[in-house]
């Protein structure tokens, strides 16, 4: 099947239930030929329209997030392709060195939601008020399924997979009695991702994902402004959490660290400072931005840019946000932060 405007084919992945926008690399290469007069391009209408203004806001460079079985959101960022040494399996240049190369990368989609869809319980400790530990225990309880999810994304031509380490920290695991197992889960997450990458596509990157502990955060969009993690735990404790998890992910072969699901600016600073101690490039994911172009709790992107200045952040992305929220916020992020920017939604 071909798009009316680009001639891009669509292809089936794994089986008939796994359909992805086809020839995704072809779609990316065709980005500059899209109809700039249209708000939305119809080549992904079967899944979710691509807001063209996102492409404009990020200078026509980007990353499309793919999802086995369904593409929930197609979004763009400034992460780009790198080549890997065929002998060592390592990139000839780091992702930071390639940020200005002009190539485009595909990022994977949600891992926890895919695990749940494939029969793995990721809701341990969840209540009506808050999420539990999410998918971390699956790295030990169902490692083959975790690897299968990563592999499907790679087969779907994703160039970046995020390790299944979203909430593998002691603060999120403690409420279900698994706090002392955080390192075991984090190490397994990175190892599974790296091994699957090595077996499937040596050109792909592994992002070491670390979500904020979210000590006082209820389920998203609960209509409240909880205290930041820095307020709840102290900046030293937050930095330590990101540092210790990042160190484990780096030790197992992650290519860069991705502190994500960050809501407050002071948490972003602590996350970057802690994650940077692992010695890898750090990209940052800020959650639930607003349609009026601010961060989740009303802080401005100008304040975020000023706070991150001098910390060596390799890129800032918006995540877990609706298309309209991303569209309203990307231009403000672009004005506030000189480095690579983008968006994704797990």
pLDDT digits (tens, 9 = 90+) for 206-234: 999 999 998 776 444 545 678 999 999 99
Q: Could you read off the pLDDT of 167-187 as tens digits, one per residue?
A: 999 988 888 888 999 999 999
Mean pLDDT is highest, among 50-54, 124-128, 153-157, for: 153-157
Q: Could you read off the pLDDT of 303-321 as tens digits, one per residue?
A: 999 999 999 999 999 999 9
**Domain with 280 in it:** 53-344
Mean pLDDT of the chain: 75
Do the domain assignments include residue 11? no
Do the domain assignments include residue 284? yes
Do the domain assignments include residue 222? yes
Please report which confidence band the pLDDT of residue 271 belongs to, taking 50, 70 and 90 as the band edges.
Answer: very high
Q: Look up tokens 């596509």; give the residue.
A: 201
What per-residue confidence (pLDDT) applies to 105?
A: 67
What are the structure tokens assigned to 30, written together? Answer: 């065709």
Q: Could you read off the pLDDT of 288-303 as tens digits, one per residue?
A: 999 999 999 999 999 9
Do the domain assignments include residue 66? yes
Which are the contacts of 263, defined by CB distance < 8 A and separation ≥ 6? 212, 214, 217, 228, 286, 287, 288, 295, 296, 297
Do the domain assignments include residue 19? no
pLDDT of 101 over the 50 cut: yes
Give the percent of the chain with pLDDT over 70.
Answer: 66
Do the domain assignments include residue 27? no
Bigger pLDDT: 48 or 61? 61
What are the structure tokens assigned to 248, written together? Answer: 């484990």
Bigger pLDDT: 76 or 178? 178
What per-residue confidence (pLDDT) applies to 262?
A: 97
pLDDT of 145 over the 70 cut: yes
pLDDT of 54 over the 90 cut: no
What per-residue confidence (pLDDT) applies to 91?
A: 60
Give 248's Cβ-side CA count (13 Å radius). Answer: 22
pTM over 0.85: no
pLDDT of 6 over the 70 cut: no
Which are the contacts of 174, defined by CB distance < 8 A and separation ≥ 6? none
What per-residue confidence (pLDDT) applies to 63?
A: 44
Q: Could you read off the pLDDT of 185-211 as tens digits, one per residue?
A: 999 999 999 999 999 998 889 999 999
C-alpha dihedral (171, 175, 180, 182), degrees to nearest 10: -50
Give the percent of the chain with pLDDT over 90.
Answer: 50
Structurally, the chain folds into a number of domains equal to: 1
Say if CB 39 and CB 76 are below 8 A apart. Answer: no
What are the structure tokens assigned to 225, written together? Answer: 């402004």
Do the domain assignments include residue 227? yes
CATH of the domain at 256: 3.20.20.330
What does the DSSP assignment read for 180-228?
GGHHHHHHHHHHHHHHHHHHH-TT-EEEEEEE---TT--STT-S--PPP
Do the domain assignments include residue 245? yes
């Amino acid at each position: 099947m071909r798009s009316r405007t680009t001639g891009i084919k669509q292809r089936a992945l794994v089986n008939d239930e796994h359909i992805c926008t086809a020839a995704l690399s072809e779609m990316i290469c065709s980005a500059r030929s899209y109809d700039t007069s249209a708000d939305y391009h119809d080549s992904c209408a079967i899944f979710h329209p691509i807001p063209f203004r996102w492409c404009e806001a990020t200078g026509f460079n980007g990353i499309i997030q793919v999802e086995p079985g369904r593409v929930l959101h197609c979004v763009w960022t400034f992460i780009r392709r790198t080549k890997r040494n065929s002998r060592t399996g390592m990139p000839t240049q780091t992702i930071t060195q390639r940020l200005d190369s002009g190539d485009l990368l595909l990022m994977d989609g949600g891992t926890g939601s895919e695990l749940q869809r494939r029969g793995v319980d990721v809701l341990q400790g969840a209540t009506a008020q808050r999420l539990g530990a999410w998918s971390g225990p699956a790295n030990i309880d169902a490692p083959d399924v975790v690897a299968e999810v990563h592999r499907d994304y790679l087969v779907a031509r994703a160039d970046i997979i995020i390790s299944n380490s979203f909430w593998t920290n002691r603060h999120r695991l403690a409420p279900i009695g698994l706090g002392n197992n955080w390192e075991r889960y984090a190490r397994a997450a990175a190892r599974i991702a790296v091994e699957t990458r090595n077996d499937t596509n040596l050109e792909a990157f592994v992002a070491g994902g670390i979500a904020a502990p979210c000590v006082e955060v209820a389920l998203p969009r609960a209509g409240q402004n909880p205290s930041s993690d820095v307020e709840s735990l102290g900046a030293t404790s937050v930095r330590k959490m990101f540092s210790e998890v990042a160190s484990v992910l780096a030790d197992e072969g992650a290519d860069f660290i991705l502190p994500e699901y960050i809501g407050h600016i002071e948490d972003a600073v602590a996350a970057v400072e802690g994650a940077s101690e692992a010695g890898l490039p750090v990209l940052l994911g800020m959650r639930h931005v607003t349609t009026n172009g601010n961060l989740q709790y009303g802080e401005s992107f100008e304040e975020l840019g000023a706070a991150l200045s001098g910390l060596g952040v390799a890129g800032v992305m918006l995540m877990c946000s609706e298309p309209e929220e991303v569209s309203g916020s990307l231009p403000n992020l672009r004005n506030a932060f000189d480095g690579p920017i983008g968006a994704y939604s797990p």
